[in-house]
């Protein structure tokens, strides 16, 4: 797997930017902007606005999500914020509060 993993014990307070895929197991506060795929795993927490090609959330996100292609919330996801993506999938069991914009 290429990309960056933000580990369980890592807390980033600021901005994460890049062109690689990013997996979040720890905590990011601020802003995340990546050209690749962003995965927030079960133990991951984002208190940030997000821009990525695609986003998959199994953990917690407080902030807006803007995905070029798709945004997926798994049954374990907890999201508070607006989602803008061409394709949005919210699984049964996911906790979501916000609005969805699926315009191209």
Helices and strands (H, E) in the chain, number of each type: 0, 13
Instruction: Report whether pLDDT(2) > 80.
Output: no
For the stretch 72-82, pLDDT in tens is 999 999 999 99
Q: For tokens 């994460």, what's the residue?
A: 16
Residue with tokens 């960056």: 4
**Can you tell me the mean pLDDT for 46-69?**
97
d(CA 22, CA 1): 10
- Which two structure tokens, joined as six digits, stand for 12? 């980033």
CB 89 within 8 A of CB 70: yes
């Amino acid at each position: 797997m290429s990309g960056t993993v933000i580990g369980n014990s890592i807390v980033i307070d600021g901005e994460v930017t890049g062109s690689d895929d990013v997996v979040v197991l720890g905590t990011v506060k601020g802003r995340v902007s990546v050209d690749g795929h962003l995965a927030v795993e079960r133990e991951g927490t984002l208190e940030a606005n997000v821009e990525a090609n695609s986003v998959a959330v199994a953990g917690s996100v407080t902030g807006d999500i803007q995905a070029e292609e798709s945004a997926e919330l798994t049954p374990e996801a907890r999201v508070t914020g607006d989602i803008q993506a061409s394709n949005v999938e919210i699984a049964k069991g996911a906790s979501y509060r916000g609005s969805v914009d699926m315009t191209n």
